[in-house]
Amino acid sequence: MDGNSGNEGPLAGLTIIEMAGIGPAPFGVTLLADAGAQVIRIERQSGAASLSGATNPDQDPLLRGRRCICLDLKQPQGVEVVLRMLQHADALVEGYRPGVMERLGLGPDACLARRPSLVYARMTGWGQGGPLASEAGHDINYIALSGALHAIGVPEHPVPPLNLVGDFGGGGALLAFGVTSALLQAARTGRGQVVDAAMSDGAALLMAPFYAKLAAGSWRDERGANMLDGAAPHYGVYRCADGKFVAIGPLEPQFYESFLSRLGLKQDPLMNGRGEQENWPRLRERLDQLFVTRTRDEWCALFQGSDACVSPVLSLSEAPHHPHNVARATFVDAAGALVPGPAPRFSDVERRLPPPPQREAAVTDELLHMAGYSSTEIGRLRDDHVLRS
């Protein structure tokens, strides 16, 4: 299908059909759009909404790079519109419970019959099979079953790590990887396939290094007892005099030496005893007492230019204004709101923010014309309330 999303990139020339949903599937599609794919979003008759809670959809990073069309999929004509669009598409992404797309008449069999090379990607919490496949759930449930939630938090209880591990890391990011992988194979073979992306699988995969450590006997299956889970005093967060925090992580000997050097504690026996885990509580207490004597920014100034691995813990309102983030344009302006920009970066592609969602009637008409509909047929779709601008 011809068209330009406004952002050339490695995936330019590819067309993704996105069935409107929330959470991980839109995030995965945003990654594809940021990389240059043209995305056509099939929205519900109930209307469009911001996925991130932004008042202005133009500020929503989970909707950028889309051209949208609103269809009533309960009517056969609406389903036919999607099938005709698929004849010129490379992939379809949906995030419904198993069986929903089949009941609409848009399951993999129907879609691949129209477009044999189609990559049909399915984003769910539990996957397309297994005892829990049809049950409801959210990020917290998926990461609970994977072991990830058990490993994160304080010794007394787990702490949900926002919905980063299941929805976005184990969900949307791996969905985008699965779609891209399947697209590469389809380009070689001419055959499409179904990508079954499950957040519970993805969250488990993100835990692979820790399962490996557990099997090797170098990880204790409890919170607050390991190097990277808050137990080690040299890998943690400390409160400063102004109530703000610094994060420290000088794990390697040379980085820890730099850390102690800036503190003037290179010869301190306790500070040099971090190799023995029984020293960790006293060492942490010492650092607690030390860091509370200066403000966060004073500490950062002291460690600036060193390899001590000390950073300020920035709030969401502070992070976009940090000099490093400003220099790299990590955050970009979207209709007056600072949001994370496209990543990763490509050496031969200009990094540009994809346009906000386009929902104008003219866009809808253009998409339908590209799918082979005449102006008369488009008018009939509107008259029958299959199509809403």
Active site residues: 138, 167
What b-and-e string marks burial along 149-185, b requiring 16 or more CB atoms within 10 Å of the CB? bebbbeeeebebbebebbbbbbbbbbbbebbbebbee
Between strands 337-340 and 331-334, the pairing is antiparallel
Contact 226, 219 (CB under 8 A): yes
CA-to-CA dists, residue 294 to 4, 261, 299, 355, angstroms: 53, 17, 7, 44
Q: How far apart are CA 341 and CA 338, in angstroms?
A: 9
Q: How far apart are CA 28 and CA 182, in angstroms?
A: 14
- The phi and psi torsions of 194 (rounded to 5 degrees) equal -100, 130
Q: Give the HSE-up count for residue 373: Cα atoms under 13 Å, Cβ half-sphere.
A: 24
The residues, any chain, with a CB within 8 Å of residue 212's CB and separated by 6 or more, are: none
